[in-house]
Amino acid sequence: MRKRAAGTELIISVLAVAFTGNYFWTVTELSWEAKANGIVVGGILPVLVTLLLVRIGVQLARGEASLAIDFGGWTEANCKRLALIAIILAFLLLLEPLGTSIALALMLFAAMWVMGARHWPSLISVSVALPLIVWASLMVFIGTRLPQGPFERALFARTGLGLSE
């Protein structure tokens, strides 16, 4: 009997917990209203990962699984997964220099493209509208200190809306 490669399941789980830890670390100065949803979701995620670890531990003890990592070859789905991971890493690297709005717009466009979206009006409208909603709701109305780039600085200089640095 071939053992199931359970190590593969741990990759996204570990990355998700690390991302949640990063979120908790970066929102400590925000008001509770601004971070409430993230804390609820972020509080549930470690519980779910713990349940996954227990399940994998039981399967390891029974000899049904191993900690091997098997991506199943270069399938289209696996290539998309790797591309999405690369897009997320690029987003995190570009967040400080480009600011939240531009980095988010680029990430959304690239992720939708990788997932197969090719309808230009949808790609552009979602990639523009969502960062504007994030800017207006989080940075202007709530006053969240997200990384500001040229877009946010230009809007603040032109309108006075948002946070000055």
DSSP, collapsed to helix, strand or coil, labels residue 4 as: strand
DSSP state of 132: H
Based on the fold, state whether residues 65 and 85 are members of the same structural domain.
no
pLDDT for residue 164? 58
Name the band, by pLDDT with cuts 50, 70 and 90, for residue 143. Answer: confident
Instruction: Name the domain boundary from 44, 70, 96.
Output: 70
Which domain, by its residues, includes 63?
1-70
Instruction: Check residue 30 and give left, alpha or beta (phi > 0: left; psi -120 to 50: alpha).
Output: beta
| Same domain flag for 79 and 159 | yes
- Among 70, 94, 118, the domain-final residue is 70
Q: How many domains does the chain have?
A: 2
What pLDDT shows up at residue 52?
93
pTM: 0.64
44, 83, 111, 163, 165 from 29: Cα distances, Å: 21, 33, 30, 15, 16
16 and 81 in one domain? no
The residue from 50, 70, 90 where one domain ends is: 70
* 5, containing H or E segment: strand 4-5
